Amino acid sequence: MARAAAGSRAFLNCLGGDELLRFWDAHLLIVEKPAGLLSVPGRLPENQDCVVSRLQQHYPDALTVHRLDQVTSGVMLYARGKVMQAALSGQFEQRQVSKRYEALVQGVLQEDAGEIDLPLICDWPNRPRQMVSFDHGKPALTRWRLLERDEMAQRSRVELEPVTGRSHQLRLHLASIGHPIVGDVMYGAEPAPRVCLHACRLAFVHPVTGEWVAFVSERPF
């Protein structure tokens, strides 16, 4: 079993037949999702290609535990079988999973760290967009830490910790404080080759061994 990785080391091993797979055992699968690929199938026939469908070609018992937006890249966890899916999903629901993202945002952040506490709800007429709503939104909290300021490019690199897991939370929270993620035109950013948001670390308790395990992925931007 892979233990916590140090620094920004890549995944500890690369096993299995699928090109997305980075770690597997009898209970779970760790995947690195590229930007542009769905986590789960969409409603339209042309949106059936996704991470879980590709995994199931090699591991028919692969089941979804959490999701990343199509535009987001990085580390994901899938369960093998319904018992493991329930155990791992429970850790997400109880906020026992440690998640870290890196993002490149427009503008230069003046502070070194902070929190964004804004309730979110789906903007139904414009879905899948989300919006801030103090009347009807669900609580959403994001902690952020500055990694680098680039005064010349007028950009900042940040580490993000989503305490809650609302849809588009990181994207909308950063846009709401005037620093949209680079490339995220849905939330007001200028066009770029990609949305610069990457799930760089995922840590949790292995549901069978009881070990605290962590997997990391280097940012691609």
Is residue 135 annotated as part of the catalytic site, yes or no?
no
Distance (Å) of CA 161 to CA 103, 196, 205: 11, 16, 18
At 136 the three-state DSSP class reads coil
- Which listed residue (18, 49, 61, 69) is catalytic? 69
Amino acid at 3: R
Strand-strand pairing, 73-80 and 197-205? parallel
- Residues annotated as catalytic are 69
